[in-house]
Amino acid sequence: MKRTRIYLLVGAGMLLLAVFFFVREREPWHRGHPLSYWIEPWQNKNESPETVSAVYAEMDQRAVRWLAQEVSWRPSVLWAVFARSLNGLGVSAADELDGDRDRRPQAAMALARLGERAQPAIAALEAATRTTAGRRAFHARYSAMAALIVLGREPKEKHLAVLLDTSNPQKWYEEWNVIASLGTNGIFAMPVLLEIAKSTNNIIIKAQAANLAGNLEPRPEFAVPLLKQAMESPPIRETGLYGLRRLGTNAAAATETVVGYLTDANARVRWAATNILRSVNPAKAEELFGK
Contact 94, 83 (CB under 8 A): yes
> Mean pLDDT over residues 15-34, rounded?
71
Q: What is the pLDDT of residues 212-262, one digit of tens each?
A: 766 665 567 777 887 888 788 888 888 888 888 878 888 899 999 999 999
How many residues appear in the chain? 291
Q: Is residue 98 part of a domain?
A: yes
d(CA 239, CA 256) in angstroms, rounded, equals 17
Q: Mean pLDDT in the chain?
A: 84
> What is the rounded end-to-end Cα distance, in angstroms, of the chain?
71
User: Same structural domain for residues 15 and 108?
Assistant: yes
For residues 196 and 210, what is the distance between their CA atoms, to the nearest angstrom? Answer: 10
The residues, any chain, with a CB within 8 Å of residue 291's CB and separated by 6 or more, are: none
What residue numbers bound the domain in which 257 lies? 174-291
* Final residue belonging to a domain, choices 92, 124, 154: 154
Closest CA to 36 of 91, 80, 10, 73: 73
**Residues 143, 23 within the same domain:** yes
pTM score of the predicted model: 0.74
Domain boundary among 124, 154, 184: 154
Q: Looking at the 3D structure of the chain, how many domains does it have?
A: 2
Distance CA 160, CA 234 (A): 28
Same-domain status, 145 and 11: yes
